[in-house]
Structure 1
Amino acid sequence: MTVTEPPPMTRALAISYAIGLPLALLAIVFLPVGRLDWSPGWFFVTFLIVVYGISALVLWRVNPVIYRARSRFQPGTERWDRILLALMLPAMVAEIPVATFDAGRMSWSDVPFSIVVLGYVLLVAGIALGAWAQAVNRFFEPGVRIQRERGQHVITAGPYQFVRHPGYVSAIMIFVGVPFSLASWWALIPAAFATAILILRTSWEDALLRTELDGYADYARRTRFRLMPGIW
C-alpha cells in the first residue's frame, strides 16, 4: 500500500501560527481585564508560551510529521465531528476571557492559592500528556476520520497502554487547569461545556474506530478504558 502524508505546512502558515497565536493569547487575556499591568495574566501567558514551546521542540525532534497532520483539517473528517468542534472550540477559547474578566476586573471569585497552584499543575500535566500522545502517534490529527491513505493502524505505545484516548484526557486536564490557574470559578462553566462535548466526541470516535479501523476492537478489549482507568 502506498502511504500518502499530508502536505507540509507552508512557511507563511508556520509564521502566522508563530506570531498570531501568542498575539491572540495576549488579546484574550488582557482585553477583558482592560489593562496591561495585571501580573497574573503575564505569568499565565509566559507559562503557556514556555511550556508549549518546549513541547513543540520535543515533538519536532521525535515526531515532526505531526505538524503536517495537525496543521489543518484533512479531507474526510467526519461531518458530525465538525459540528461537535464548532460547539466545543468556542467554549474552550471562552474560558480565558471569562476567567480574566472575572479575576482581573470584576473579582467575582475567591479562589484559594492552593487551587491556583493545582491549576498550573494540571496545565503542565495536561500539556505533557498531550505531547507524549502525539510523540508516539503519527495519526494524531485535529479531526476524526479513518486515515486510510496514511496507512492508519492501532497505536498501543506510550499512554495508549493505559487509556484509549489520552489526547482527550490531556485536553480535559487543560480545560480544568485554565480556570483554576486564573483563579476563576465562573470560567468553569465553559470548561464544563467543552468537557461534556469532548466526552461525547470520545464516545462517537471510539464507536467509529471499533467498526472501521482494523484491530481496534481487539485493542479496546485489552485496553478497557477510554478516558479514566477504572471508571470509563
Structure 2
Amino acid sequence: MNSLNSRALRSSLLGTIALAALLFIPAGTFDYWQGWLFMLVFVGASASITAYLAIHDPKLLERRMNAGPRAEKEPTQKIVIFIALTGFVAMLVFPALDHRFGWSPVPAYISLAGDAFIIVSFLAFFVVLKANTYAASTIQIAEGQQVISTGPYALVRHPMYAGALPLLAGIPLALGAWWGLLMLVFVMPVLVWRLLDEEKFLRKNLAGYADYCEKVPYRLLPFIW
C-alpha cells in the first residue's frame, strides 16, 4: 500500500472514530439506530468515493485530503473553514442531544428520507469529481488547471456546493431531530460566503473564469441564483 493510500485509510479510520464520538457521547447511549444508520450511509459513501479516487485519480484524492483551515492559503478562507467545521460538528451533536432528551423526534420514515438525501449528495459529489479533476478541498489553482464548463458545471458554477444542500438538510433528519434543521440558518451563510470568496479568487487567478461566469449565470441553483 502506497503512502497516499495509507494516509487515506488512516484518515478514514480516525474520521469514523471521531464521527462515532460526536454522535454517541452526546446521545448518552448506543441504542440510537438513527445514528448507526447515518454512520453506515455517510462512512460507506465517503469510503466508496475515496476508494474510487485512489484507483482512478490519485492526484485528485491528494487534493481532496489536503483540507482544513491550515491547508487554506487565503486568510479569509481559514476563518470560513473553521466556522464551517464548527457548524458541521454542531449539526451532529445537536441532533444527538435532541435524541437524548426527546426534544423533537421525527418519524422513522423521515429519518430514512434524510439518509436518502445524504446518498443523493454523495452521488452528486461523485459526478462533480468525475467532471473536474481539479476539485480540491482548498481554494487554489493547480498547475495546468483549466476552467471546467461541461457536465454539472454547465448548469451551475458551483455544483459541489449545490450537491451539499441535500446533505445539510439530510443530516438532522437522518439523525432524528426536527430542530436540527435550525443549524441550516447558521451553516448556509457560511457556504455562501465561501462560494463568493472562491469566485472572487478564481476570477482573478484562473484564465477564462470570468467568461465562464458570463456563460453560466447561476451559482448554486438553476434559474434561482
With normalisation by structure 1, the TM-score equals 0.87
Corresponding residue of 1:60: 54
Q: Distance in 1 between matches of 2:132 and 2:141?
A: 14
Corresponding residue of 2:140: 145
Contact 1:59–1:131 (CA under 8 A) maintained in structure 2: no
Once the two structures are TM-superposed, the CA of residue 37 in structure 1 deviates from its matched residue by 2.2
* Bigger helix share: 2
Q: Distance in 2 between matches of 1:25 and 1:144?
A: 25
Q: Distance in 2 between matches of 1:42 and 1:157?
A: 37
Task: Show structure 1 runs of 5+ residues with no match.
Answer: 1-7
Q: Distance in 1 between matches of 2:151 and 2:84?
A: 27
The residue identity in structure 2 corresponding to 1:53 is A
Q: Distance in 2 between matches of 1:220 and 1:182?
A: 37
Corresponding residue of 2:73: 77
1:93 aligns with 2:89: yes
Corresponding residue of 2:210: 217
Task: Give the direction of change, closer, same or farther, for the CA distance of 1:161–1:63 in structure 2 (3 Å limit).
Answer: farther
Structure 1 ranges of 4+ moved more than 6 A: none
Task: Give the direction of change, closer, same or farther, for the CA distance of 1:11–1:134 in structure 2 (3 Å limit).
Answer: closer
Once the two structures are TM-superposed, the CA of residue 230 in structure 1 deviates from its matched residue by 0.4
Counterpart among 193, 201, 225 of residue 200 in structure 1: 193
Q: Give SS of 2:30's match.
A: coil
The residue identity in structure 1 corresponding to 2:88 is M
Q: Distance in 2 between matches of 1:114 and 1:75?
A: 39
Once the two structures are TM-superposed, the CA of residue 190 in structure 1 deviates from its matched residue by 2.7
1:36 aligns with 2:30: yes
Q: Distance in 2 between matches of 1:145 and 1:55?
A: 22
Task: Give the direction of change, closer, same or farther, for the CA distance of 1:17–1:77 in structure 2 (3 Å limit).
Answer: same
Corresponding residue of 1:155: 148
Q: Give SS of 1:231's match.
A: coil
Equivalenced residues, count: 222
1:128 aligns with 2:156: no
The residue identity in structure 2 corresponding to 1:211 is K
Task: Give the direction of change, closer, same or farther, for the CA distance of 1:13–1:55 in structure 2 (3 Å limit).
Answer: closer
Task: Give the direction of change, closer, same or farther, for the CA distance of 1:167–1:80 in structure 2 (3 Å limit).
Answer: same
Contact 1:55–1:128 (CA under 8 A) maintained in structure 2: no
Q: Distance in 2 between matches of 1:133 and 1:100?
A: 31
**Which stretch shifts more, 8-17 or 60-69?**
8-17
Q: Give SS of 1:100's match.
A: helix
RMSD (Å) for aligned C-alpha atoms: 2.1
Counterpart among 103, 110, 127 of residue 108 in structure 1: 103
Contact 2:91–2:171 (CA under 8 A) maintained in structure 1: yes
Task: Give the direction of change, closer, same or farther, for the CA distance of 1:136–1:64 in structure 2 (3 Å limit).
Answer: farther
Q: Distance in 1 between matches of 2:47 and 2:58?
A: 14
**Which stretch shifts more, 158-167 or 69-78?**
69-78
Task: Give the direction of change, closer, same or farther, for the CA distance of 1:164–1:192 in structure 2 (3 Å limit).
Answer: same
Contact 2:63–2:135 (CA under 8 A) maintained in structure 1: yes
Once the two structures are TM-superposed, the CA of residue 113 in structure 1 deviates from its matched residue by 4.0
Q: Give SS of 1:143's match.
A: coil
Counterpart among 3, 13, 20 of residue 7 in structure 2: 13
Identity of aligned residues (%): 29
With normalisation by structure 2, the TM-score equals 0.89
Corresponding residue of 1:185: 178
Task: Show structure 2 runs of 5+ residues with no match.
Answer: none
Task: Give the direction of change, closer, same or farther, for the CA distance of 1:111–1:11 in structure 2 (3 Å limit).
Answer: closer
